[in-house]
A and B are shown apart, each in its own frame.
Chain A
Amino acid sequence: MKSWNKSKPAILMADQLPAILVLAPLFGAMIIGLAGTKDHKICFPITLASLLVTLVVAVAAAHQVFEHGPIDYFVGGWKEPIGIGIHLHIDSLNVLLLCAIAVVAVLVSFFSIRRIGDKNTEKTPHFYTLYLLLCVGLFGITIAGDAFNLFVLIEVSSLTSYGLIAMGSSKRGAFAAFNYVLMGTVGASFYLLGVGYLYLKTGTLNMVNIRDILSTQPEIAASRAVSIAFLFILVGIWIKMAFFPLYGWLPNAYSYCPSSSACLLAPLMTKVSVYVMIRVMVSVFGLEWVFASPGWSNLVVWLAVIAIVAGSVLAMAQREIKKMLCYLIVAEVGYMVGGAWLADEGLWGLTGALYHILADAAMTLCLFLAAGIFAKRFGAKKITELEGLFKEAPWTAVGFVVGALAMIGVPPTCGFFSKFYLIRGGIDAGHWEYVVALLLSSLINAVLFFRIFEIAYFGNKPAEGHAHAHDDEPAETALPSSEIPTWTGVFPLLVTAAIIILLGIFNGEIVAMIRVVLEDLPNLASRL
């Protein structure tokens, strides 16, 4: 299938970019399902190949979006009247996220290689099938232009992530996964309910069409059902992104699952949900409608402030590295939701949130990769067990330090610039509590990570005691180091670290790309 696509003429390829984006990993997953069970060796090459295809396609799509404007794709050719078919849409709001998903998926696939040496080798093809299907779901969510199609793809990504979290996980992981299933399903159902309310009032499912109707027919836009639709969609997505106070499922689910699953899910799932929220705000309801009454915006920003503070404080209380990182994710989600809801005039808050989606994907990936390497090679899961490990694994240490500095917000990493834009939005909007929360969270992050640096760098304990197995996590006992090709972990880690710095250095260009669509917002509805 892929060879056909490659042999097709370039002009045709350009038209088909959105479809190929989801089809390449889908076909990869099916090939693994068919042939991978016989020969486990082909699983990784196929995964990598199909993900590289998506990476190329995502970059090509970015090129096309910035050269020729947004890409609209109508599946099955059902274009007129609008809404009868399914609409896929790529513009400058989501094209960078597409690239980020592709990059993260490619990098984590290297990290997951070592699973083949694991004791659960029988399930390797199934792991990779789920891995690729998760990518299908995430790409599909990102390019969806149809509200119901978005639900279906949310479910594709949710079901695969349930599988990835629960497979080979520990005693506690099983229960965490169960809670994740319940919460995730309720979240998706709320979203579905909200879409139903919208359909009830507008008679259409196409996002652009809904927005058209809402902006041209004020009595529909002002109706109760539409407000409730927005509320339920919002709460549903908040559950999915673990926004305070709906974050309960996240820390356990991500910290007790296999490292490769955590490295893929932690950077992507919450970020894609944040994107969905922004997409719904911008493309379905329209920012004028969302920010019509300032009370809502203030309420959400306050919630975000609580999320940031609570996430940071709870992170301080953790003894396990991964769990601490999970609570930091909760805080970071607060950054993005708060930024998106600042409603400042220049939309710098929204810009900062969109930039932070990319930055946070890179930072989270970096830290989770480093934590995964520490856990797998040295069996170090608790912060105290890191003693002396920076000397044992200097390259991993470099990656971890870069990720941590970005989390704190030290220039020239991307973490600094995303905070810069968010704070700028906060000041413009007069939300000083948000600015204070951001600064406080940076301070807490600094305390957290410098404590870890101190333990890991200056701690003199020999690293012997680290390799003991944890009985609550049998799937991740440290393997004899001879079996592990070290580069599979360190290579993606260092690439991620480089990306963090590059994102920071080229922040001006990236923000300019993001703002292409935001400056064009009034024309968004009339684009079709």
Chain B
Amino acid sequence: MSEFVETVLRPHFNFWVYVILMMIGLWALIAKNNLIKKLIGLSIFQTAIILFYVSMGVKENANIPILDHHGHEEHVVAHAEDGHAGAHDKKAHVEKSDHATGSHGESHPDATSPDPDTMANPLPHVLMLTAIVVGVATLGVALSIVQMIFREYGSLEEDEILEQVKAGNSDG
């Protein structure tokens, strides 16, 4: 059991959580009878994907992808270099010494560019900003349709609605 935890679960902990969350959402989406609960399931489902994407961009001991901006245009270093200890201490040191020798970086443009390992991957964040917005938009439209259903059927329970649909079918 502990071996399983160490070798399988621990290195991919976030990914396991995302799958479980997603399955909770999917189950609610299919099995729940109440339309609002279905929508809650849908939201959990979408949020799980967001967790998945963001987990992809995580780097051990890395900081947020915002460069430290000290007012001077050329003087840009990563947040993580300011004494952030961790696995990439060595690289940070190298960077610092580079920075010290390369005075203001105009002649050494590389000296100012941060070490990618000290910053989280920005791309998944960008993508998920889009996905969050899309999720909100979908939820809004779905809720408005639910309100329309309630106006028409006077119920939010799927089985009651289906009964009414069936009754309407046999009438026509």
A and B touch in the complex (CB under 8 A): yes
A residues in contact (CB < 8 Å) with B: 148, 151-152, 155, 158-159, 162-163, 166, 171-172, 174-175, 177-178, 181-182, 185-186, 188-189, 192-193, 196, 199-200, 205, 470, 472
Question: Would you give 13 A-B contacts (Cβ < 8 Å), ordered by A?
Answer: A148-B130, A151-B131, A155-B138, A159-B141, A163-B141, A171-B152, A174-B145, A174-B148, A174-B153, A182-B38, A189-B45, A196-B56, A205-B123
Given contacts A166-B148, A171-B153, contact A185 B131 (CB under 8 A): no
CA A496 – CA B142 in complex, angstroms?
34
CA distance A155 to B127 in the complex (A): 14
When A172-B165, A193-B49 are in contact, do A181 and B142 touch as well, CB less than 8 Å? yes
**A178 and B35 within 8 A (CB):** yes
- Residues B127 and A172 in contact, CB atoms below 8 Å apart: no
C-alpha spacing A185/B146, complex, angstroms:
15
Which residues of B approach A to under 8 Å, CB–CB?
Answer: 26, 29, 35, 38, 42, 45-46, 49, 52-53, 56, 123-124, 127, 130-131, 134, 137-138, 141-142, 144-146, 148-149, 152-153, 161, 165, 168, 172
The answer for the CA separation of A163 and B138 in the assembled complex, in Å, is: 11
Q: Say yes or no: A472 contacts B172, CB within 8 Å.
A: yes
Provide the residues of chain B in CB contact with A205, threshold 8 Å: 123
Most B Cβ at <10 Å: residue of A171, A177, A189: A189
Tell whether, in the assembled complex, residue B46 and residue A189 are in contact, meaning their CB atoms are under 8 Å apart: yes
Decide if A196 touches B49 in the complex (CB within 8 Å): yes
Evaluate contact between A470 and B172: CB separation under 8 angstroms.
Answer: yes
- Is A186 touching B56 in the complex (CB atoms < 8 A)? no
Residues of B within 8 A of A166 (CB): 141, 144-145, 148
Of the candidates A177, A185, A196, the one whose C-beta lies within 8 Å of that of B46 is: A185
A437 to chain B, nearest CB (A): 30
* B52 / chain A contacts, CB cutoff of 8 Å: 193, 196
Q: Are B165 and A185 in contact (CB under 8 A)?
A: no
Cβ contact within 8 Å between A178 and B56:
no
What 5 A-B pairs come out closest when comparing CB atoms?
A171-B152, A174-B148, A155-B134, A181-B142, A174-B149
Residue from the set B38, B49, B134, B161 with the largest chain A CB neighbour count within 10 Å: B134
**Known contacts A171-B152, A182-B29, A185-B138; 20 further A-B pairs (Cβ under 8 A):** A151-B131, A162-B142, A162-B145, A166-B141, A166-B144, A166-B148, A172-B168, A174-B149, A174-B153, A175-B149, A177-B145, A177-B148, A178-B35, A178-B145, A181-B138, A185-B142, A189-B45, A189-B46, A193-B52, A196-B56
Most chain A Cβ neighbours within 10 Å, of B29, B168, B172? B172
| B148 closest partner in A (C-beta) | A174
A470 vs B35: C-alpha distance when bound (angstroms): 27
In the bound assembly, the distance between CA atoms of A167 and B138 in angstroms comes to 15
Cα A181 to Cα B29 with chains together (Å): 12
Q: A152-B130, A472-B168 are in contact. Are A159 and B138 (CB under 8 A)?
A: yes
The answer for the CA separation of A486 and B18 in the assembled complex, in Å, is 56
Known contacts A155-B134, A171-B152, A189-B46; decide if A162 and B141 are in contact (CB<8 Å).
yes
